[in-house]
Amino acid sequence: MEPDAVARFRAGDESAVREMVERHGGAVATVARSIVGRSQDDVAEVVQQTFVKAWRAAGSLEPGRPIQPWLYSIARRTAIDLLRRERRPTTGDHAPEQDIAVESMTMERTQEIYDVRQALDGLPADEREVMKMSHLMGMTHTDIAEQLGVPIGTVKSRSGRAKRRLAAALSHYAPESSAMTANQMGERNVQGGEDSQ
């Protein structure tokens, strides 16, 4: 699906745009959230603008070039632009405009986010749902159990299995000599976290 969808996206096919949003919207939102914070409105605006800009510039995407890092780069620039625009004074007695210090996203960091997203997408549906609710939406185990209508023990079991799978999938980021485990790497990139129960 991906190569064909990318080709159609490059050609300006609107249905391919929808496919790209469905497939990569969550990862783009993660990039946006890492820069603009947890404001759902700001994140949604960055995601929307990212795909509009990407669609307009789709013809410049080189054939065979992976689309994910390209999208993440657009998302990062869009998020920074949003921050700067929100900090810019309008009229009246506002403080002078100041540059916003934003941590530069290296290619390694972009690849890291992509790998975590791929690992999440590879989880069984029930485990993936728990991880997204926990880390992307900031819900506690109790909240998730109520939302899904399952016992809290089931939520904890799914979360535990998901974290073990992510740790295995991301083990290349956590050599034995490193203090950071793959599980911690996943939690850092997914953004958010669970309240202790």
Specify the higher pLDDT residue, 173 or 137. Answer: 173
The pTM of the whole model exceeds 0.75: no
Query: Is residue 21 domain-resident?
Result: yes
pLDDT computed for residue 178 by the predictor? 41
CB atoms within 10 A of CB 179: 6
Q: Looking at residue 53, which CATH number applies to its domain?
A: 1.10.1740.10
Task: Say whether 50 sits in a helix, a strand or coil.
Answer: helix
- Average pLDDT value for residue range 183-190: 48
Same domain, 77 and 116: no
Q: 20 with 77, same domain?
A: yes
What percent of the chain shows pLDDT beyond 90?
A: 9
- State the average pLDDT for the chain: 75
Least confident of 16-30, 123-137, 176-190: 176-190
Which residues form the domain of 156? 107-190
Please, what is the end-to-end C-alpha distance for the chain in angstroms?
Answer: 41
Q: Tell me which of 18, 52, 87 is where a domain ends.
A: 87
What digits encode the pLDDT tens for the residues 36-61?
A: 887 888 888 998 888 888 888 877 77
The Cα angle at residue 72 between residues 57 and 179, in degrees rounded to 5 = 165
**End position of a domain, from candidates 54, 87, 120:** 87
Per residue in 148-183, pLDDT (tens digit) is 889 999 999 999 999 999 888 888 776 554 444 444
Smallest CA-to-CA distance from 74 within 110, 98, 119 is with 110
Q: What does the alpha-carbon distance between residue 30 and residue 155 come to, in Å, rounded to a whole number?
A: 23
Same domain, 113 and 158: yes
Higher per-residue pLDDT: 72 or 107: 72
Give the model's pLDDT for residue 191. Answer: 45
127 and 75 assigned to the same domain? no
Torsion from C-alpha of 43, 116, 23, 46, nearest 10 degrees:
20
- Site of tokens 């490193």: 178
Q: At which residue do the structure tokens 């997204």 appear?
A: 132
Average pLDDT over residues 109-118: 72
Q: For residue 111, what is the domain's CATH number?
A: 1.10.10.10
Split into its structural domains, the chain has a count of 2
Running DSSP on this structure, what letter comes out for residue 62? P
